[in-house]
Structure 1
């Protein structure tokens, strides 16, 4: 009988710690927004923008 109660306690402890808390969601959202801002700055920079335009131009001018 002692084994069953130990098993239930371990099961309950594992189940009660599932998922993120509100503060973890907030930190994840802030991190995602910061990453998006950095990625936007990189993609809109002159050299990267020129390279993307070049790749797209070459793809559109490709003979079929």
Structure 2
């Protein structure tokens, strides 16, 4: 009986963690589509790739 309850608790935990990860990924997609964020990231990458001479 304990194992069955424990197994269900683990399944619920996996479902909860997966749902949270999917929600966070969706939020990141919305943020990344923003023109302001996209411009900031492009500037950041360009600055990081510049080679000082």
Which of the five TM-score ranges fits, normalised by the shorter chain?
0.5 to 0.7
Query: What's the CA shift for 1:33?
Result: 0.7
CA distance in 1, matches of 2:15, 2:51: 46
Query: What's the CA shift for 1:43?
Result: 2.2
1:36 aligns with 2:25: yes
**Structure number with higher helix proportion:** 2
RMSD: 2.3
Structure 1: 5+ residue stretches without partners: 1-16
Structure 2: 5+ residue stretches without partners: 1-5
Q: TM-score, normalised to structure 2's length? A: 0.66
Q: TM-score, normalised to structure 1's length? A: 0.58
Bigger RCO of structures 1 and 2 (CA < 8 A, at least 6 apart): 2
